[in-house]
Amino acid sequence: AHVIAVLNQKGGSGKTTIATNLAHALKLADAKVLLVDSDPQGSARDWNEANGGQLLPVVGLDRETLATDLKAIMGGYDFVVIDGAPQVARLAAAAVKSADVVLIPVQPSPYDIWAAADLVEVIKARQEITNGKPAAAFLISRAIKNTKLSGEVAEALEGYGFPILAHGTTQRVIYPTSAASGQTVFSEPGNTAIEEIEAIAKDVLELLP
């Protein structure tokens, strides 16, 4: 299975939103997808309960043994999507170890970008001992529609040396409202947020080794 980890120690950066929607997009493209909740707060598990466990298999792995635990259960899946915990130490390091691709959702604000520094270091340290695995990219989350990423924000991100995914999410009510009933943007056919998520999924597949 390809392992995609959505990580950022900053709470509210959009990890659970991206993880659930991306996992669902991959499933709708006929892949077998496992969603791993590595956040002790259990947001993805709450989301799964809200839909009665109907949408995706969701498993909670919020221990440091995540990497080994995951190996034992990921057979038979095409993709594993890890919803990250709001911390860098241990849990995120374990997720980085398991991942083929790390997506780092950041809101287009300097505070969010600065807060990613520790995670970037963890990923780079891992890449050094593994010949570049995992691949990593920033994903701009909750951007204001029709607003270009400011030069300052882009520059701050580029300073980390990871690419910025060509597509991200914009601020849309459908993200929280669909999540409230344990759904994703795909529950409302024709919604333009679907296009955002599908474009993100396509970008992510291109990052896979």
Shortest separation between residue 142's beta carbon and ligand ADP, angstroms:
4
- Show contacts with Mg ion in window 1-30 (CB under 5 A): 15-16
Cα–Cα distance for residue pair 200/42, rounded to 1 Å: 24
Residue at shortest CB range from Mg ion: 16
Nearest to 139 by CA among 111, 116, 173, 172: 116
CB of 109 to ligand ADP, least distance (A): 13
Contact string 90-129 vs ligand ADP (x = CB under 6 A): ----------------------------------------
Residue type, 32: K
What's the rounded Cα separation, in Å, for the pair 171 and 65?
A: 35
Site string for ligand ADP, 6-35 (x = CB under 6 A): -----xxxxxxx------------------
Cβ proximity to Mg ion: between 106 and 156 the closer is 106
**Nearest distance from C-beta of residue 172 to ligand ADP, angstroms:** 5
- Which residues lie closer than 8 Å to 186 by C-beta, 6 or more apart? 21, 24, 25, 28, 194, 197
Residue 42 beta carbon to Mg ion: minimum distance, rounded to whole angstroms = 9
| H helical segments located in 58-143 | 66-73, 91-98, 110-114, 117-130
Contact string (CB under 6 A) for ligand ADP, positions 140-179, x = contact: -xx--------------------------x-xx--xx--x
139 and 103 Cβ atoms separated by less than 8 Å: yes
